[in-house]
A and B are shown apart, each in its own frame.
Chain A
Amino acid sequence: MNPLPKRKPNWRPYLWLLPSILLISVFVIFPILIVFRLSFSEISKAGVVGGFIGFQNYIDAVNLPAFPTVMMNTFWWVLSVVGLSTLLGFIIALVLNQKFRGRKIARSILIFPWATSLVIQASVWNYIIKYEYGNLNSVLLNLGIIKEAINWRSSYQIEFVWECAVGIFVTIPFVAFCVLSGLQSIDESLYESATVDGAGFWDKLFNITVPLVRPALSVSTVLNIIYVFNSFPIVYTMTKGAPANKTDTMITYLYMLSFYDRKKGPANALSVIGFLILCLCAGIYMISVMRKEEAL
């Protein structure tokens, strides 16, 4: 029995941490190291790892014909999905925070897309927007809203927009629930006293709600950037990057490079580039979390 464990040199806490550290080290840290090593090695098409070749893989990766398109796509993908889902999620959270009948049901329904596997969501939307037999055309025709079937995916740009839309659709619940948890911690009396002082709806929104929800919003935004950047099933299921990598994002392109085109070297280099971009986001996230910890 030792009520004051600080006095002895204490190794016990580390023992408690050990399984967790082991698990993360082997299955998260180790692959990171492998990817780093491979990105500087020569790899044959069959996957045989050769010697150190410096930055050759990186040069190859940047010189791939699809590289600029893929990077632009990734940029637009992250920007549009994160931006719009944050905006819409914020609005929906504001509405869900009101008291109304059926709020529980509405919240349960809203969480559906979050609970569903992305590959399933993407498959369903893939079916919905088919030209020849898609359900969207069918419903609109049946309801008499349109007179002729519309080709919802007439060009790859439009297909990419659809992919972004599905991305936004599945991301909204996450943002909405993050913001909601922030909203629920706001003290009601703040609004009451603001009302007494004669503040209008917009005053309250921008001077009370937004500043107080900002921590929750920043955490959800940074996490979202990371998750959306890493999102694979939507693009892969809906277009597989076709035509000619024009709708690929970095992650799907990486997958294609590595497992279809057998260009493991450049693929690893791309992995590291993606990893570094994520590190940047992780750093921002860490700082914001640490600040929050200090504030508590």
Chain B
Amino acid sequence: MRKISSVPAAAQSEKLPEIRIPLLLFFTGLLISCILMSLPLYRFQAAVYTKKSSNTFVGDEKYVEVLAEVEEEAQRFRDQGMDVKIQETVTERVNSKGETTSLITFTINQEYEKNVWSFLTSKLASSLIAKIMAACMLLSVLCLAAGCAGSLQIPLRKLSAGKKTLRSLSALFLLADLILVPVFILCNNVIFWRRLRLFQDGQLENGREAFFAALDDFLFDGKMGSQIESALKSLSAHHSALLWVLALCFFLAMLGAVQLRFGTVKNTLLRGLLYAFIAVVCVITLYPYYVMLVTAFRSNAETLDMYFLHLLPTRWLWSNLKDIVSRGVPRYLMNSFLIAGGATLLAMLCGIPAAFAMARMNFRGKKFFLGFVIVSQMFSPVVLLIGIAQLMNTLHLNDTLWGLVFINAAFNQAFAVWLLRGTFVAISPEMEQAAKIDGCSTMQSLIRILLPMAAPGIVTTLIFVFINAWNEYTISTVLISTAQNRPITVGITQFSSFNMIEWQYLFAASLLATIPVVILFMMIEKHLTSGLTSGGVKG
């Protein structure tokens, strides 16, 4: 009770929250959206009668005759209580003799207009979305009412946590509505265009009866019965652009709710923009991975068919994985593992002593070695392809895994030394000096003291070199000619020949090649950020 009595005093001392504008925004937004949803925004057209008349010109004798006939027909439809319109299309052609001929097509169209509410009671898939949309609107109003009840005059900072949550929820429900508008439109597009055509072309059989029954129910009140299929033949659906305005209305209402919750809209909007940006970037980044994933489990026919219906495979074909196993993929993965593992080991064996010397010892030519290392980092093996191929021939390492191990180790050496040196320098040498006084040799102090302390940096380097070697493609294509010795990056190209690409196998193998390295990379991501500018590296 004390709390309530203290409200007017507090309200006097603090600025009262602005409530008129946000409330106005909220309710006008919702009101307009309700009105929009009641408008006949969806228009359907189906031809019930067609009459073609050749050698007819607009206004001539034959035209009048046919038109009367069509009118009569239309009247019969109108007598049945249908709303029909006559449409005529004129096609003019010049024939081989140079005479103009014309063909007039009369169609009697039946038009249906539906508003968004009418989707609610239909048995179509989009009715669920319409229902959620309506529920969200209702919940939003209820939440706002509960969140504002008796507290409109209270400064925002003094609001109870429950009221704040309710007001936030109200805004969130409207956000859901906002997102559902395009979903609703897309869902209807799929229903009235893609699905309908696929069922009529006989490309899809499952659920055909139920689908037609739902359409019959929705468009013709179930009167068509067995004729529904022919009635739908010429069905076309259009939605008014006003439907998109609905999203705008929800947005305005949401602004109102946000302002009631936070007092100001600007920060929340910026925040929302931030999340929207992140979401877009993440979606674009993940898109190729989504494609890889779903295509890897599709059947061959489905990979080559643009008109498959679902964003996911109609049936997940795990047999694709079995097929690629029999086509040598495990062998390629094994080769990649051996190459990357061997290269990593070699790079570390050579790199750790060098980095140790660079970090802990003083000697002439230190700067020179640093320069040497950096310069060697500058050259991707690609520009030296021919030289490397020649060298491998001389060393008899052509077409062997060892050759790739050496090349990958050598071209990642610079980075390994560079990053390891950074790690070692960051660790104070005091512990090692103490160990030396206790009688440890340099080697012992390195192995027993420095390496355990530098473990995170070493693991980062290790993984990075491994990933680089795993993903290497160009040198492998040049050096490896035996199928047995191919690493996975080269191995996957066997699924794409000139005239035919087996996408499902290509991507199934790619998936297997990608998952381990992506996981490894995510593990070192944190350390990479700190070591990056000092190391200066890229895969």
Contacts and interface: CB of A to CB of B under 8 A. Distances in A.
B202 to A, nearest CB: 19
Which range holds the interface residue count of chain B?
Answer: 35 or more
Interface in B323-359: 346, 349-351, 353-354, 356-358
B410 A144 contact: no
Contact of A116 (B351, B372, B514): B514
Interface string A239-263: 0000000000001001100110000
A193 interface: no
Interface in B191-208: 193-194
Interface stretch (A63-71, A105-113, A202-210): A105-113
Given A181-B530, A226-B380, A110 B282 contact: yes
Contacts of A23: 346, 350, 406, 409-410, 413
B353 A17 contact: yes
B189 A143 contact: yes
A111 B521 CA distance: 8
B274 A115 contact: no
A256 to B, nearest CB: 11
B356 A117 contact: no
Contacts of B419: none
Contact of B388 (A31, A216, A224): A31
Contact of B354 (A19, A149, A174, A285): A19
Given A108-B522, A114-B521, A286-B371, A1 B288 contact: no
B533 A181 contact: yes
Interface string A1-43: 1010110001011101101111110111111111100100000
Given A109-B285, A133-B303, A230 B387 contact: no
B285 A112 contact: yes
- Name A's interface SS: helix
A227 interface: yes
On chain A, which size bracket covers the interface? Answer: 35 or more
A87 interface: no
B185 A123 contact: no
Contacts of A282: 374-375, 378
A275 B308 contact: no
Contacts of B64: none
Contact of B281 (A92, A132, A137): A92
A232 to B, nearest CB: 5
Contacts of A84: none
A27 to B, nearest CB: 3
Contacts of B413: 20, 23-24, 28
B278 A95 contact: yes
Interface string B518-532: 101110010011111
Given A19-B350, A111-B525, A254 B410 contact: no
Contact of B306 (A92, A149, A289): A149
Given A17-B353, A100-B271, 6 more contacts: A19-B349, A23-B409, A106-B278, A109-B286, A115-B471, A282-B375
Interface of A: 1, 3, 5-6, 10, 12-14, 16-17, 19-24, 26-35, 38, 92, 95, 98, 100, 102, 106-121, 123-125, 127-128, 132-135, 137-139, 141-144, 149, 169, 174, 177-178, 180-182, 184, 215-216, 219-220, 223-224, 226-227, 230, 232-233, 251, 254-255, 258-259, 264, 267-268, 271, 274-275, 278-279, 281-282, 285-286, 289
Interface of B: 185-186, 189-190, 193-194, 271, 274-275, 277-278, 281-282, 284-289, 291-292, 295, 303-311, 346, 349-351, 353-354, 356-358, 361-363, 369, 371-376, 378-388, 390-391, 406-407, 409-411, 413-414, 417, 433, 436, 439, 467, 470-474, 478, 489, 492-493, 496, 503, 506-507, 510, 513-514, 517-518, 520-522, 525, 528-533, 536-539
